[in-house]
């Protein structure tokens, strides 16, 4: 079964100044998009690089998550250290994920160019740094669609199931009305009866 780690990085939400919106937005989107069984491990932590690094290591190395999604802390401000912490625990970078997230967000806000969102691999786990706002989380995961519901700009989650396959993780099926996973024909399983 797929295990997903969800990490919301926020000084104020982690101390109760306001309610975290990142983890609920991720949970709602994943529930609508993934048809395969999955579980989540959630963490709400402050913008502290050592704590982010320790949390990512724990979710990957101890909890066995095959996918970890973070939200928040990806800007250029001094306290935005999520990408730095992610790179510190990474074995390899996956630059296409950050490039695609910025391409999507630039359609809405010019400040998306300031985002440092990225994707990496630690061991056999994919870690993705997502934006902090629920609307932007959905847009980057799902992509942009035209009025007919067809993807105009693919979201990053379309690539996640095949990436997890290549890393030796479980086969993930998605609801194509939300996001259509792309895999080469040789990697597709026959549709369930």
Domain with residue 160: its CATH number is 3.40.980.10
Residue 162 lies in a domain: yes
pLDDT for the residue 189: 81
What is the mean predicted confidence (pLDDT) over 36-61?
Answer: 96
Hey, which bits of the chain come out as E strands? 2-9, 38-45, 67-71, 92-93, 119-122, 125-130, 143-145, 151-154
Residue 193 lies in a domain: no
Q: Name which residue leads in pLDDT, 79 or 189.
A: 79
Rounded CA-CA distance 88/25 in Å is: 26
What is the mean predicted confidence (pLDDT) over 23-43?
Answer: 96
Residue 137 lies in a domain: yes
Number of domains the chain contains: 1
State pLDDT tens for residues 93-139: 999 999 999 999 999 889 999 999 999 999 999 999 999 889 999 99
pLDDT at residue 192 greater than cutoff 60: no
Residue 97 lies in a domain: yes
Expressed as residue numbers, the domain containing 179 is: 2-187
Q: What is the mean pLDDT of the chain?
A: 92
pLDDT for the residue 132: 87
Residue 12 lies in a domain: yes
pLDDT for the residue 191: 65
C-beta separation of 91 from 42 below 8 A: no
Instruction: Categorize the per-residue pLDDT at 11 as very low, low, confident or very high, splitting at 50, 70 and 90.
Output: confident
What is the mean predicted confidence (pLDDT) over 44-63?
Answer: 96
Residue 192 lies in a domain: no
> Is 0.75 topped by the overall pTM?
yes
Q: Name which residue leads in pLDDT, 12 or 182.
A: 182
C-beta separation of 27 from 6 below 8 A: yes
C-beta separation of 34 from 173 below 8 A: yes
Residue 174 lies in a domain: yes
Residue 14 lies in a domain: yes
């Amino acid at each position: 079964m797929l295990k997903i780690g969800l990490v919301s990085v926020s000084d104020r939400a982690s101390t109760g100044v306001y309610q975290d919106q990142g983890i609920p937005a991720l949970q709602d989107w994943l529930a609508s998009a993934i048809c395969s069984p999955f579980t989540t491990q959630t963490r709400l932590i402050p913008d502290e690089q050592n704590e982010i690094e320790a949390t990512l290591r724990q979710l990957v190395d101890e909890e066995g998550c095959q996918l970890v999604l973070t939200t928040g802390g990806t800007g250029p401000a001094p306290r935005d250290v999520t990408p730095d912490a992610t790179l510190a625990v990474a074995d390899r970078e996956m630059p296409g994920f950050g490039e695609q997230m910025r391409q999507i967000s630039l359609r809405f806000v010019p400040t998306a160019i300031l985002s440092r969102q990225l994707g990496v691999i630690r061991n056999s786990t994919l870690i993705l740094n997502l934006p902090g706002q629920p609307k932007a989380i959905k847009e980057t995961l799902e992509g942009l669609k035209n009025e007919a519901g067809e993807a105009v700009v693919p979201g990053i989650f379309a690539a996640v199931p095949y990436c997890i396959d290549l890393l030796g993780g479980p086969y993930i099926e998605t609801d194509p009305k939300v996001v259509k996973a792309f895999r080469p024909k040789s990697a597709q399983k026959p549709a369930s009866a």
